[in-house]
């Protein structure tokens, strides 16, 4: 197996540096077209419109997305088609970012269950195995602890593995490798090793996937020292964060939501790389700061339309970086609105919202005119029944009610 790993790409020199790649968005003229996708399905654009798209999976995009993604403003929808660039589904944007980095750097490789000729369970790696070969796109046995450990070892030798977990819940089997090895080896080796590895995969509450396949594990991994975490929510930031994570010399966990893969958006033709530690201002406002990420971004934007009609002016921030938090952007907003609502799909006890509440209280307590309110999923296993499943996750009417009470 060591011979296989060494054959994936050139080994880079080991240095004691472990610098964070926190460059701002970069633009350069380079882009390649991806292979054509086959099969039709209905997709929902990030502006809320339903259209017919191309995909190799076929199936249930309309059922998966329509209730999860809220439409943006009509003006934005009207202008989308006139923007330069090209339209991609979120899973295609992830693939495009990954493919660009594999072309740019021969040390980038992919490993995981069914990532090769099958193309991944959500087709993020479709078409990569024929192009790059079985050594750089490595199908693994169903053994998360084994191939995660192998990827971390490959990163120690100078490679840049991208490890796909078919479901984030399965990566609990590799928690020892992620915690005791991935997050700590740079420190425990005295800086002799860098661990430039990306661990990515789908998570969150889907559509009746059952408790074991509907877990929100962000807070589990947030507690591990030495690891960065980001969460994508649009095709644009999915590609930009994927590229930034691969280029980082630090281990990065990239959370993808299972219900957002078929979200469509127009992204630039030019190359760009996003900042791993920067939040995104989704909607400027004056009355209250709403902090959210991943799928809940769209629940919040749906609630925002109702709030605007009621006379409120919410400021919406997609925090994107779950570790570390972008306290500059968050603090600037808190100093303006003086009220904070956190909306997350993570569990309430020990969730991302709890950590964010603590950080805001410690740093910006004097600027708050009201207690921080946090809306989270209920502390119960996700039910299989659709009606009960919806009850466990924050819905737009709850967000509207929370803002109204917070602004009284």
Structural tokens at position 399:
């967000």
Q: Is 287 part of the annotated catalytic residue set?
A: no
CB atoms within 10 A of CB 89: 26
Q: Name the catalytic one among 96, 99, 144, 265.
A: 144
Q: Which one from 96, 186, 213, 278 is the annotated catalytic residue?
A: 213
Active site residue 213: yes
DSSP class per residue in 237-306:
HHHHHHHHHHH-SS-EEEEEETTSTTEEEEE-SSB----TT--EEEE--SSEEEEE-TTHHHHHHHHHHH
Q: What is the 3-state secondary structure (H, E, C) of 16-63?
A: CCCCCCCCCCCCECCCCCCCCCCCEEEEEECCCCEEEEECCCCCCHHH
Structure tokens at 300: 């919040």
Tokens of 18: 């472990």
Q: At what angle do helices 296-309 and 396-406 cross, to 10 degrees?
A: 50
Q: Where are the beta strands (DSSP E) in 142-222?
A: 160-164, 198-203
Q: H or E stretch including 343?
A: strand 340-347
For residue 141, which of 93, 180, 173 has the smallest C-alpha distance? 173
Q: How far apart are CA 199 and CA 171, in angstroms?
A: 9
By annotation, the residues acting in catalysis are 144, 213
């Amino acid at each position: 197996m060591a011979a296989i790993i060494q054959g994936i790409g050139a080994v880079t020199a080991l240095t004691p540096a472990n610098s964070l790649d926190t460059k701002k968005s970069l633009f350069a003229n380079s882009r390649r077209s991806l292979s054509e996708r086959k099969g039709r399905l209905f997709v929902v654009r990030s502006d809320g419109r339903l259209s017919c798209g191309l995909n190799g999976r076929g199936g249930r995009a309309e059922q998966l997305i329509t209730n999860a993604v809220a439409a943006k403003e009509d003006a934005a929808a009207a202008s989308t088609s006139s923007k330069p660039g090209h339209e991609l589904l979120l899973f295609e944007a992830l693939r495009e970012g990954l493919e660009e980095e594999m072309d740019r750097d021969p040390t980038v490789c992919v490993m995981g269950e069914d990532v090769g000729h099958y193309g991944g369970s959500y087709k993020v790696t479709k078409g990569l195995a024929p192009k790059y070969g079985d050594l750089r796109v490595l199908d693994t046995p169903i053994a998360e602890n084994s191939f995660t450990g192998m990827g971390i070892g490959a990163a120690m030798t100078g490679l840049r593995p991208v490890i796909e977990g078919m479901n984030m819940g399965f990566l609990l089997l590799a928690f020892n490798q992620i915690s005791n090895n991935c997050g700590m080896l740079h420190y425990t080796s005295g800086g002799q090793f860098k661990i430039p590895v990306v661990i990515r995969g789908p998570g969150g509450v889907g559509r009746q996937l059952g408790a074991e396949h509907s877990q929100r594990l962000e807070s589990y991994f947030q507690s591990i020292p030495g690891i960065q975490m980001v969460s994508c929510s649009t095709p644009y930031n999915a590609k930009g964060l994927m590229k930034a994570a691969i280029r980082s010399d630090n281990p990065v966990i990239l959370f993808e939501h299972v219900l957002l893969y078929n979200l469509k958006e127009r992204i630039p033709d030019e190359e760009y790389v996003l900042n791993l530690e920067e939040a995104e201002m989704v909607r400027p406002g004056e009355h209250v700061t709403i902090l959210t990420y991943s799928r809940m971004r769209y629940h919040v934007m749906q609630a925002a339309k109702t709030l605007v009609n009621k006379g409120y002016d919410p400021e919406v921030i997609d925090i994107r970086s779950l570790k570390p938090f972008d306290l500059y952007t968050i603090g600037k907003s808190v100093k303006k609105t003086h009220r904070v609502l956190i909306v997350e799909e993570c569990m309430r006890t020990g969730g991302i919202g709890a950590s964010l509440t603590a950080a805001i209280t410690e740093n910006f307590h004097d600027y708050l005119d009201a207690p921080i309110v946090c809306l989270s999923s209920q502390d119960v296993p996700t039910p299989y029944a659709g009606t009960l499943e919806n009850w466990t996750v924050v819905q737009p009417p709850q967000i509207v009610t929370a803002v109204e009470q917070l602004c009284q």
